[in-house]
Amino acid sequence: MKITLRIIWLTFMGGTLGTLARFVIGDFTGQLLGLVLVNTIGAAALGWFNGDKRFDTPEQKAFWAVGLAGGFTTMSGLASAIVTWQQLIGWQVFGMALALFISGLASYYLAFSVAQERGSK
Amino acid sequence: MSYLSPWIILLVGVAGGVGAVLRLYASRWNGKLPWGIFSVNVAASFVVGFAANAFAGNQDAEADLVLWASIGALVVVGFAGGLSTFSSYAAQTVEFLRKRQIARAVINTALNLLITPLAVWCGALLSPALLK
C-alpha cells in the first residue's frame, strides 16, 4: 500500500474510532473481559475486512483494517495483563493467554472464510 | 475511568490514531516474519510497563490521581493501545498457516506471547532509572 496523505488521514480516523471503542468496552466490562472481547471481535472484524472484496481498495484497508481493527485490538494491553496476572496466579497465565491467541486466530479464520464464501456467490 | 472528562477521552482516541499511523509505517517492514508489527507490539508493551510504573508513584492527592489517570489513559490506552495490535498478528499467523508455513506461525505466536510481557516487565524495571 502506497502511503499518501489520504491513507494517513483514513488510518488516523480509523485508529481514533477503534481506540475509543476499545476504551468504552474496557470501561464497561473491566480489564480481563474487555481484552478478550476486543481482541476476539477485532480479529474477526479484520478477517471480514480482508475476506470481503468490497474492502479491497487501499483506502478501505487503511480505514477499516489498519485503523479501526488495528486500533480496536491491543497486544500491549494483553502483555500488561499477562504480567499482572502472572503475579496473582502464576505461570498458568501463559496457558490462558495462549488460549486467547488461538481463539483470536480461529475468529479471524472463521470471519475470513465466511466473507470469502459470501463474496464468491 | 469513566470519571475522566470527555475531552480527555477524545484525546485518548487521538493518541490511538497517532499510534495507528506509526503502525502503518512500521507494517512495511516484513521479512520471513512480520518484524514491523512485532516491533511496534514490543515497543508499545515497553511504554505500558514504563508508564504504569512511572505514574504509580505520582498519586498522592485526589487531584493528582485524576491528572495521572488522565495521562496514564492517554499513554497506555490511547497511544500504546493504538500502536500495538492483536488483529494484525492474527491475520499474519493465519496467512502462514494457510500457506502451510507452520514454523513461522509458531515462532510468530511464541515471540508475541513471550517477548511482549517481557517488554512490559523491562519497561517497569527501567523506569525508575530512566526517570532519575
CB B74, CB B9: distance < 8 Å: no
**Residues B13, A105: C-beta atoms closer than 8 Å:** no
Q: What is the pLDDT of residue B60?
A: 62
Average pLDDT of every residue of chain B = 90
Cα distance from A111 to chain B (closest Cα, Å)? 11
C-alpha–C-alpha distance, residues B105 and B121, integer Å: 25
Quick check: A53 and A14 in contact, CB under 8 A? no
Rounded CA-CA distance B9/A31 in Å is 17
pLDDT over 90 (residue B66): no
Between CA B1 and CA A42, with CA A107 as vertex, the angle to 5 degrees is 30
SS (H, E, C) B8-39: HHHHHHHHHHHHHHHHHHHCCCCCCCCHHHHH
**pLDDT more than 90, % of chain A:** 88
In chain A, positions 13-32, which contact chain B (CB-CB < 8 Å)?
13-20, 22-23, 26-27
> Which residues in chain A have Cβ-Cβ distances shorter than 8 Å to B69?
none
Provide the pLDDT for residue B2.
58
Look up the ipTM and state it.
Answer: 0.93
Query: Per-residue pLDDT tens for B86-111?
Result: 999 999 999 999 999 999 999 999 99
Using one digit for the tens of pLDDT, what is the confidence trace for B28-55? 999 999 999 999 999 999 999 999 888 7
Per residue in A15-44, pLDDT (tens digit) is: 999 999 999 999 889 888 999 999 999 999
* Total CB pairs under 8 A between chain A and B: 192
What is the predicted pLDDT for the residue at A119? 76
A74, B1: Cβ pair inside 8 Å? no
